[in-house]
Amino acid sequence: MASAKRPPRAATAREPLTPEQVVELAARHNLAELEIEQGGVRIRVVREHAPAVAPPSFRAEPASALPAEASTESHLVAIEAPMVGTFYRAPAPDAAPFVAEGDLVQEGQVLCVIEAMKLMNEIEAKAGGRIARVLVENAQPVEYGQPLFLLEPR
């Protein structure tokens, strides 16, 4: 929040900010509150619900890679997290993973475990097929609906 006691950064002859510009400035920088005094006029903006999360960053990929990946994975079935929790590929830290990429699985076979509120929940295959990709690293947090595996149905 700008204070009336602190001088402006640059002492240049500049047009005063309009109330709309102050609101835009507060929104652009995700500020909950902003107060500006200029030329004897004080403008104060208080945003009721300023988002606490930074805007998502997007990974840039070459345009040529996108269509090829989409076409090769269009027939794959995503197995999604049914809950929020921590993803584990194995039943214990020193045990082998339930499945790996390339493994053939049957419907109902355990693929991983999601720990939620100190309970271990086994996640099963919803169809038989081959594990094409494991999308989550071991011991990583997962969200509801987040894809965990890509399954090539058989």
- Domains, the chain, ordered by start: 16-50 (no CATH), 76-153 (2.40.50.100)
CB 142 within 8 A of CB 87: yes
Give the pLDDT confidence score for residue 12 in this predicted structure: 53
The answer to whether residue 60 scores a pLDDT higher than 60 is no
> What's the pLDDT tens digit per position in 81-90?
999 999 999 9
For the stretch 7-59, pLDDT in tens is 555 545 577 888 788 778 777 777 777 788 887 778 887 776 544 444 444 44
Residue 2 backbone phi and psi in degrees, to 5: -75, 140
Token representation of residue 129 = 């097929």
Distances (CA, A) of 23 to 4, 27, 108: 18, 6, 54
pTM beyond 0.75: no
- Tell the residue number behind the tokens 């995503």, with chain if given: 78
